């Protein structure tokens, strides 16, 4: 599989800001609905009723991994998704390096660590959960 070939496409013009994608993502990964611990983020723009969506675009060159001092960000050889290892110390270097503003530091697991989309191992749960079909491959 070609690295970076699978990624989530978004249509922000259709998004109503319901944040179901955020809820199912955090529930699937951490067992709790937590807006601070999700691999996809919905933020309302200044123009009320319009939204920005932020999700990892599974870059070919992995700028987040290049700056990680713990070397815990890597591409999964099975799914092709870029994943953050459990050993992450939450330093935030990857947050600054991400060109898509798609990584956050969260303490949803009890300790601070980087959280980003990992494509749920191959079939993102946010796809089917979105009532407006904002998300696609």
Domain boundaries, the chain: 9-136
Half-sphere exposure of 55 (CA within 13 A, CB side): 26
Q: Is the pLDDT of residue 134 over 60?
A: yes
Cα–Cα distance list, 20 to 50, 66, 101, 131 (Å): 16, 32, 20, 8
Give residue-wise pLDDT tens across range 108-131: 888 999 999 999 988 899 999 999
Q: Tokens 């691999």 label which residue? A: 39
What is the arithmetic mean of pLDDT over 15-31?
96
Options 3.30.70.20, 3.40.190.10, 3.40.30.10, 3.90.1640.10; CATH for 9-136 is 3.30.70.20
CA dihedral sign, ordered 25, 27, 31, 32: positive
Give residue-wise pLDDT tens across range 60-76: 999 999 999 999 999 99
Half-sphere exposure of 63 (CA within 13 A, CB side): 14
């Amino acid at each position: 599989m070609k690295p970076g070939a699978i990624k989530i496409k978004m249509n922000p013009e259709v998004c109503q800001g319901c944040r179901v994608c955020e809820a199912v993502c955090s529930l699937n990964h951490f067992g709790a609905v937590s807006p601070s611990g999700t691999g996809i983020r919905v933020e309302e723009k200044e123009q009320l009723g319009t939204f920005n969506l932020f999700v990892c675009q599974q870059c070919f060159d992995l700028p987040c991994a290049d700056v990680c001092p713990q070397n815990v960000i890597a591409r999964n050889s099975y799914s092709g998704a870029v994943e953050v290892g459990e050993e992450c110390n939450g330093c935030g270097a990857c947050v600054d390096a991400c060109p898509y503003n798609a990584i956050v530091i969260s303490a949803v697991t009890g300790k601070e660590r980087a959280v980003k989309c990992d494509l749920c191992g191959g079939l993102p749960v946010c796809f089917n959960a979105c009532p407006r079909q904002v998300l696609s491959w």
